[in-house]
Copies of this chain bind each other. A is one copy, B any other.
């Protein structure tokens, strides 16, 4: 499984730009050929991570990055940040929260608390084989 294309979006840690993250996520998922419901699911999952990042980051000067790795059969989305406090286990205090349920339901794989990694969270959606 070879990763081909990479798209990165870097955003201020502010609530007003989460809608931008959603549009970008939709555009990428749509272009990859995900069906319209799955595009919506990916958009929602991305938005939930953004909201949570903004909630845990106390400094509105913070920035975060969303990396999309695009492959023939999957989309991998990785969140990272150089200057958000408490980046790491962002959902730790909220393991049963609504956001977590949504992300788990909509993505195929989610790595919530990566050990010793320089990113915050990573999640993957596979493209279903057309039968």
The interface-forming segment of A24-32, A50-58, A113-121 is A24-32
| Distance between Cα atoms of A23 and B9 in the complex (Å) | 12
Q: Does A126 contact B (CB under 8 A)?
A: no
Let me know if A100 is at the binding interface, CB within 8 A.
no
Contact of A27 among B6, B8, B20 (CB under 8 A): B20
A26–B19 Cα gap in the complex (Å)?
Answer: 11
Residues of B within 8 A of A20 (CB): 7, 24, 27-28, 31
* A7→B16 contact, CB < 8 A: no
Does A14 have its Cβ within 8 Å of any Cβ on chain B? yes
Q: Shortest Cβ distance from A6 into chain B, in angstroms?
A: 7
**Chain B residue nearest in CB terms to A21:** B27
Closest A-B pairs by Cβ, 4 of them: A23-B27, A20-B27, A8-B10, A23-B23
